Structure 1
């Protein structure tokens, strides 16, 4: 696990942490004053040290300038006044190889990355609001369209666009994201590059090679005549992965788009495709992790993920005071996995055990209509209103193989379940502009119907062969319909041109998931009845720019989360309606209500640059953020315990060089405090804190070429940020030190 830091690392940590001192001091002063969020004037690309470009991002959440990393008051049909959020501008750092979210998200305070060693999905959480596994409590979007199998009933983060294609990442904190969905952990939006608006053609390409035979290729093309435009990219990645056994991956991602760029109407038709196959090396016990962090436990487990997603987006501005957007989207997700039956927590699964094949398919469609109208004598007030219709169909098929090499499941059906859901939502906000003060009340009304019906549920039978066994308890048959009102109010006060105070109070809703009450994971029991979860968040903050080189953000927050769905780790005794759970296993259920509170602090300081402490052609920027978090269960089965994945601190710092000629260099530091891996704090699941450094550089060459290189986990820290219960579960080790080189071209 985490080792003591040697002197060179202690020095680096001290230097980066010292940079947080002004933010800490400001945060303390704000706390004393009882308030805590200012929108600095937008900088231009020259002031930010960024290179000019002919492309413009078409984010539906934020359409502000590329160099902006704060939310505007309004954007399209959306209102951001009274909300706190963050933007990570990827152009400020060297190209991030696909799926290194630890680096890509380093500028977003408090967003915890629970690293998956084979990179098969994103596991993110925020402020301790639920287990990060597959990012269940955060709404994941790509260009403001849901990029998950089902945003209500199965919001798993199986898909992350290649970061080479991403211009910036936007995050709306917690329950203040009422206009995007009900998830209590907020909304994260990957904004892809384009479209090209100037006449002409541009192309780019990049090749990356790295440790463990990693290979990536990316190619993009964009063309425009000023009114009609088209663009697309294809990305391929493969490699053996950091683990010695069954850690390989192969991914293909492609996108094609056509645009109409009129004066009052823009329209985009896009088609996204993703196909990926991953080995799943399994978790390790604590002892096996300490002995060899590249070991594995499941030599034959595999997973395949496929996504096909067409989308149509239309934006219309009939006059200066009115904006209208319409979006229609569909996606076909397939998640197919093969897991060896039996096995135990952190131990090698016997080689003779047969494979269990599970196929989940998701056909999801939605339509999102929104309009914003400015009113008042100077247009200082705004109202936005929208409706969403959403539907999904998601059957499950589980079959038993006749051997450890039978991927077709020819030994017979084990389980069949039909799942479907429909949602209608109406939402709106009004911004009242009263001089330097803006007040923004909002609402969201959800009508959700969900049905899960099991038609077959048999025991696995013999782990080495033979037919499926007897019935595995009564068949599940659950249908729920809920009408859920949600509300929020935000306030901003521009006390000075470079000082803004922001406050927000919002209520969020976590719908039941399809797999609440139905589980196919070995060693994990599930309650027969689940209740939906609700969150109420209070946050107050300040945004300040005391001097041109320095910018400070600070906020205090408190979250009340009711009826959290989590898991209690074994050993657990039998208690109706549950059976006994052994060591390394878990019981999934409503574990109680929690109270999470803390502080977010962020600082950005230009050490060198046009407005920096020292003058220079480029910009040397230090950005650092710190979240201090305290959380506890206040009632329920886990009362008195600390919720899982709640580190006492999360500190991240980036020292970046942004050259005017396109040169980029970055040193990223991540420090995560101790975490619990189970809601009842069983010691076998505890995750010790850790510190990781990442370094990268990108340098322009002649003819539009660039050369890049980097080292991830620079000092080879031995750590794990993720642990899973059940068969095939255990600690998922962070990747050891690894390197990459790249060659890129743009013209």
Structure 2
């Protein structure tokens, strides 16, 4: 209310002066006297801050988003409705406007690999917290933080990226948080149905179907999706199914209850990884023709929001998730060689329960206080069988059991933070979070080649986290921000009880911790323009790694520390925004974002490691594009360009001949084009080409080889709305 009062005072003063002037003129006219009095000029300037805030919300999160305080934190929001439909989860295209996030591409849809600012290997996104509507998508958030399921992008409304301070806001992983926001039916939506159907190269067949309604006190949305692909190699075919259901009840304007159900099921062949030499000779080579992966994930969420009055509000969620990972894996063999004699069937199940409860109190002039707690429990049995049947079914446990571990995880936290609004548009945000982690493993069967006793291990850790943010609004829609905050990586099941090695004594390692510093400036100073430029410095301590004493004897130790520093910049401009074309719904947007990174080992127990570059730390990652959109057309051209990068921390090549693997993955640039054409109210056409230049590249390497990325692929289809 304060800015409105300030804006109203000059207006009230002018009204008073006008009334006095009118009264004086009437009096003079009554007496027949006409006088002219020249008053000093008064200049009145009004600065409507709301238009700048609204402009910035096209690119960043609100400063206070429900019970979450994001002011002084660097955030980026990608509104997927402002770009063409993303088909077959092309994540480089979906995250083109998300600076700094490195997508390590894997063609099969059963693993998703992200990394950020050189902190950790992107394998299954272990160092990045990925959430859907504020709930972790990892198999087990604490004991097994890996990403094996990802919703179809057609079911998402936006992608939120939160950097420093993300651990204080949501919990473990160092940084960042990628939060996927599900689509909801807009208010007053009548009963609406739509179907989207696409075909494309490599046997692509995609269908996504929705029915929704939001009128009165009740709202619902249900969708079902299916994607099939033959892949680019033999044994590379995949199927992905998804179903979602959302039901909301709003008894009054002060509260809402909702129920969310998400189901994802994926099955894919695994054609195996290749050496660099094999990839050069024939990228279609298959080394594991019998291997296959299955993923099933079901999640049920109950949520409630309540405005209690007196500036108090509640946001609470309870959830249960069941996820099952099954893989069939035999040793690699080149074409023409004898097939392996047996295969391993592996089954990892995850039953996790969680609660997230947050309260917010608005006080004073723009101040807000939040407090909350998170409680989490996981029960995650891990089993393996050896079978002579190379095509053993996923539920066939008739083979010899070679591994059985009962695993449990517990996690609790309490947290609080406050935004203080000070004079001169200064704001300060102190944050505190207290964490507790407990993991346990009880092993009853271990592989026969091990000599160690069965593992029965429990480990508990406590950790306080602190953060401080400073900011200042200046000029027209500009803001400087500074944030320093702590983060951490949880101790995993494998860190205390590795199932495939003889773990020697003295393996209890220290937690991996981070301290992140970031300072920058962002804003929307003129119509159509948004910018965000920051410098960052991240110290990551106590990196946890395996040291092999011999072929099977290992020890888990804190091998060293890394430092990541650099610059991250984003620029968006809509050429039509300052013109009358914007009032007609026309937009011509161009964007470019860049992450410049310098990451190094600064301490290490490994001789000669200090000064080396951590794996997956490209010197630059640039994303750019242009989009033309109006009520009928969305046409987008995007590009992702990455510098060469090491794929392992040693920065060394290995092997020779057919086993050769260079130390670095070559630089690459990939261009995509996508389009939506709304022919009439009901019919929309879709078409696009990925990897337009047919770039021959890879950006995914693991210990046993590389995975070729897709070449040029096309798709086309239609969508109907009723």
2:676 is aligned to 698
2: CA distance, partners of 1:431 / 1:258: 33
Is residue 2:261 matched to residue 1:271? yes
1: CA distance, partners of 2:202 / 2:284: 12
| Shift of residue 639, structure 1, vs aligned partner | 2.6
Is residue 2:519 matched to residue 1:544? no
RMSD: 2.6
The correspondence for 2:610, drawn from 614, 622, 639, is 639
| Shift of residue 499, structure 1, vs aligned partner | 1.3
Q: Contact conserved, 1:534 with 1:561, CA < 8 A, in 2?
A: yes
Please, which runs of 5 or more residues in structure 1 have no aligned partner?
A: 1-37, 45-64, 460-469, 569-573
Is residue 2:305 matched to residue 1:315? yes
Q: Contact conserved, 1:140 with 1:189, CA < 8 A, in 2?
A: yes
| Shift of residue 565, structure 1, vs aligned partner | 3.0
Partner of 1:679: helix, strand, or coil?
Answer: coil
| 1:594-631 Cα shifts (integer Å, max 9, x gaps) | 00000001100112344599997511111110000001
Change (3 A) 1:211 1:517: farther
| Shift of residue 702, structure 1, vs aligned partner | 2.4
Partner of 1:289: helix, strand, or coil?
Answer: helix
The correspondence for 1:448, drawn from 437, 446, 451, is 437
| Shift of residue 517, structure 1, vs aligned partner | 4.8
Indicate the structure whose relative CO is greater, using CA pairs within 8 Å and at least 6 residues apart. Answer: 1
| Shift of residue 124, structure 1, vs aligned partner | 0.4
1:26 is aligned to none
1:663 is aligned to 633
2:462 is aligned to 483
1:195 is aligned to 185
1: CA distance, partners of 2:101 / 2:316: 30
Is residue 2:323 matched to residue 1:352? no
1:679 is aligned to 649
Partner of 2:445: helix, strand, or coil?
Answer: strand
The correspondence for 1:80, drawn from 53, 70, 86, is 70
Change (3 A) 1:744 1:474: same
Partner of 2:646: helix, strand, or coil?
Answer: coil
2: CA distance, partners of 1:618 / 1:402: 63
The correspondence for 1:717, drawn from 670, 691, 695, is 695
Change (3 A) 1:191 1:113: same
Is residue 2:359 matched to residue 1:371? yes
| 1:637-659 Cα shifts (integer Å, max 9, x gaps) | 24332111000000000211111
Q: Contact conserved, 1:489 with 1:506, CA < 8 A, in 2?
A: yes
1:48 is aligned to none
Structure 1 window deviating more from structure 2 (198-207 vs 693-702): it is 198-207
2:446 is aligned to 457
Structure 1 window deviating more from structure 2 (266-275 vs 592-601): it is 266-275
| Shift of residue 567, structure 1, vs aligned partner | 6.5
2:52 is aligned to 41
1:288 is aligned to 278
2: CA distance, partners of 1:612 / 1:494: 29
1:254 is aligned to 243
| Shift of residue 295, structure 1, vs aligned partner | 2.5
Change (3 A) 1:621 1:523: farther
1:731 is aligned to 706
| 1:240-276 Cα shifts (integer Å, max 9, x gaps) | 112x211111111101121012300011111111111
| Shift of residue 454, structure 1, vs aligned partner | 2.1
1:68 is aligned to 58
Q: Contact conserved, 1:175 with 1:182, CA < 8 A, in 2?
A: no
- Tell me the TM-score normalised to structure 2 length: 0.87
Q: How does 1:540-689 map to 2 (within 5 A)?
A: 540-566=519-545, 575=549, 578-579=550-551, 590-611=558-579, 618-636=586-604, 637=606, 638-659=609-630, 661-683=631-653, 684=661, 685-689=663-667
| Shift of residue 169, structure 1, vs aligned partner | 0.4
| Shift of residue 351, structure 1, vs aligned partner | 1.9
| 1:184-217 Cα shifts (integer Å, max 9, x gaps) | 1221111111134215212221001111101011
1: CA distance, partners of 2:201 / 2:545: 36
The correspondence for 1:215, drawn from 205, 220, 241, is 205
Q: How does 1:126-165 map to 2 (within 5 A)?
A: 126-165=116-155
Q: Contact conserved, 1:175 with 1:183, CA < 8 A, in 2?
A: no
- Bigger radius of gyration among the two: 2
1: CA distance, partners of 2:522 / 2:107: 36
The correspondence for 2:478, drawn from 482, 499, 511, is 499
2:315 is aligned to 325
Partner of 2:341: helix, strand, or coil?
Answer: coil
| 1:506-554 Cα shifts (integer Å, max 9, x gaps) | 0001011122254567999999544320000000010033432322110
| Shift of residue 336, structure 1, vs aligned partner | 0.5
Change (3 A) 1:174 1:611: farther
Q: How does 1:2-17 map to 2 (within 5 A)?
A: none
| Shift of residue 400, structure 1, vs aligned partner | 0.2
1:4 is aligned to none
Q: Contact conserved, 2:52 with 2:524, CA < 8 A, in 1?
A: no
2:383 is aligned to 397
Change (3 A) 1:109 1:278: same
Q: Contact conserved, 2:569 with 2:593, CA < 8 A, in 1?
A: yes
Change (3 A) 1:587 1:616: farther
2: CA distance, partners of 1:639 / 1:297: 36
2: CA distance, partners of 1:258 / 1:192: 13
Change (3 A) 1:517 1:723: farther
Q: Contact conserved, 1:609 with 1:616, CA < 8 A, in 2?
A: no
Structure 1 window deviating more from structure 2 (411-420 vs 142-151): it is 142-151
Q: Contact conserved, 1:372 with 1:382, CA < 8 A, in 2?
A: yes
Change (3 A) 1:617 1:71: closer
Partner of 1:102: helix, strand, or coil?
Answer: helix
Change (3 A) 1:474 1:524: closer
2: CA distance, partners of 1:624 / 1:526: 51
| 1:641-682 Cα shifts (integer Å, max 9, x gaps) | 2111000000000211111x1310111111011111111112
| Shift of residue 505, structure 1, vs aligned partner | 0.3
1: CA distance, partners of 2:503 / 2:458: 23
Q: Contact conserved, 1:630 with 1:648, CA < 8 A, in 2?
A: yes
2: CA distance, partners of 1:348 / 1:488: 59
Structure 1 window deviating more from structure 2 (423-432 vs 115-124): it is 115-124
| Shift of residue 717, structure 1, vs aligned partner | 0.5
1: CA distance, partners of 2:246 / 2:666: 45
Is residue 2:105 matched to residue 1:105? no
2: CA distance, partners of 1:597 / 1:693: 28
| Shift of residue 472, structure 1, vs aligned partner | 4.6
2: CA distance, partners of 1:475 / 1:524: 11
2: CA distance, partners of 1:561 / 1:350: 46
The correspondence for 1:425, drawn from 403, 406, 413, is 413
Q: Contact conserved, 2:588 with 2:627, CA < 8 A, in 1?
A: yes
2: CA distance, partners of 1:110 / 1:723: 19
| 1:51-91 Cα shifts (integer Å, max 9, x gaps) | xxxxxxxxxxxxxx9x7221211111111111111111111
